[in-house]
Structure 1
Amino acid sequence: MFKALLNEIFKAYGVLFIDANDEGLREVEKPFIKQLIIQHHEVDTAFRATQARTKESGLEQMIQTDTNVSLILTRR
């Protein structure tokens, strides 16, 4: 019901809703998540550099965080 309501409200804007708990999506994202974990230092460095450039250009920092840790929970 809630998904149908959101779809009705935002259908004119082309918003795409994705069920993050979809088993097919979970399979597709596994290699991507694995690479994020393996390359977390590179991802963090790029993230922080982009944050700095954003602030230097006069824009507000869009993501407020002091940590580079993500919590990923899986169901087996």
Structure 2
Amino acid sequence: MNTLTARKQLGIQLTISKQYDDLDFADDQALLLRALQQMQEQTNIVADNPARLGLIINRGKSKVFKTNSSNNTPITAQG
């Protein structure tokens, strides 16, 4: 999703020249971010853009996976 990367340098640094903030799989998307605040901001963007077309995120199918984090603040999709 180009709107995510156009705004900021976020995501996971894989090599010196490659940084990823999301992965797309058919009709699924995985967000890869380092900070909880970044994850919430990007989740809001991902939820808001399809909502303009009448599409919604299926919250029952959506998952949040955190690694090396003691912060238990939930990520919510407002779209």
TM-score scaled by length of structure 2: 0.31
Name the larger-Rg structure: 1
Name whichever structure is richer in helix by fraction. 1
TM-score (norm 1): 0.32
Query: Which protein has greater RCO, CA pairs closer than 8 Å, 6+ apart?
Result: 2
User: Which of the two has greater strand per residue?
Assistant: 2
